[in-house]
Amino acid sequence: MHEAELRVGEVHGGVLQPGSSGVRERVIAVEEAERRARGRGPSRYPTFEPVLTPAEIAEVEAQFGVALPDEYRTFLAEVGAGGPGAGIRAHVVGRIDGKWGLVWENDEDHPWLLDPSGPFVETEDWADQQIATLCAAGYEPTTRDEDDDYLGGYRKVFGDAGDDDWFLEHGRGAIPISDNGCGMTGWLIIVGPHRGRLRDRDCAVNPPFEPYVDANGNRHTFRSWYLEWLEQHERAA
């Protein structure tokens, strides 16, 4: 990736406007203010990963065969390919062994590779979708799974690969967008009718994907979610 000095978005009526200035600098300023408040000196490391060039974003989209949501594309191009955000840190988009993927907790050996083969399956639709998947593979559950996760069915049908297949099916059409600590994660939907929306997932056994909402109960997009975090962060600092 190439470091570039691109203009970033600022808030106009709650909207991140591409091509204006503010958000990147505001995040860096509030991070530095927090370090000073804690008696720490300037960090030796950059606050954000380098932004992606238009050519690199085109490579990401070509590799996965999708168009990224506009707000997320703007973030990658003008703010950074990873850095501070809601939760502990936004996941990093990077090229590893010639492929683009999202890195979980700096674990470059296991990047998340978007599966664009179908739409993201909402939690309320999960059980019916998995029954259909198992039936298509020749296994028909005779009773509804008590936990509605159907992991046992995947293990019967797909053997040792069942756990991985089940996990990947859960995240099909979406990418991890934030590490929220203690196994909790945030996801951005890339494929399907809710493209550009976010989902929060707890660390319980088979937790549901829950929409991120604002104080008024409105569902967040990537832009409104990130700006809400930044404004709260600034007030706290």
CA–CA separation, 110 and 8 (whole Å):
30
Number of domains in the chain: 1
Domain that holds residue 92: 10-113+218-236
CA–CA separation, 108 and 225 (whole Å):
26
CA–CA separation, 56 and 39 (whole Å):
38
At a CB cut-off of 8 Å and minimum separation 6, what does 117 contact? 172, 173
At a CB cut-off of 8 Å and minimum separation 6, what does 22 contact? 8, 9, 10, 11
Residue 107's pLDDT is: 67
Assigned domain for 88 exists: yes
Assigned domain for 153 exists: no
Assigned domain for 109 exists: yes
Average pLDDT, the chain: 83
Assigned domain for 98 exists: yes
Taking alpha carbons only, the member of 57, 83, 47, 79 closest to residue 1 is 57
Assigned domain for 61 exists: yes
Q: What is the largest CA-CA distance in the chain?
A: 62
Output the DSSP codes for 140-161: --SS--TTS--HHHHHHHHGGG
| pTM of the predicted structure, to 2 decimals | 0.81
Assigned domain for 96 exists: yes
Assigned domain for 180 exists: no
Assigned domain for 123 exists: no
Structure tokens that stand for 209 in this block:
């994907």
Task: Encode pLDDT of 159-191 as tens digits.
Answer: 888 888 888 888 899 998 988 888 888 999 999
Task: Encode pLDDT of 143-152 as tens digits.
Answer: 777 777 888 8
Whether residue 1 is predicted with pLDDT greater than 50 in this model: the reply is no
Residue 7's pLDDT is: 30
Span of 86-95, 112-121, 187-196 with lowest mean pLDDT = 86-95
Residue 169's pLDDT is: 84
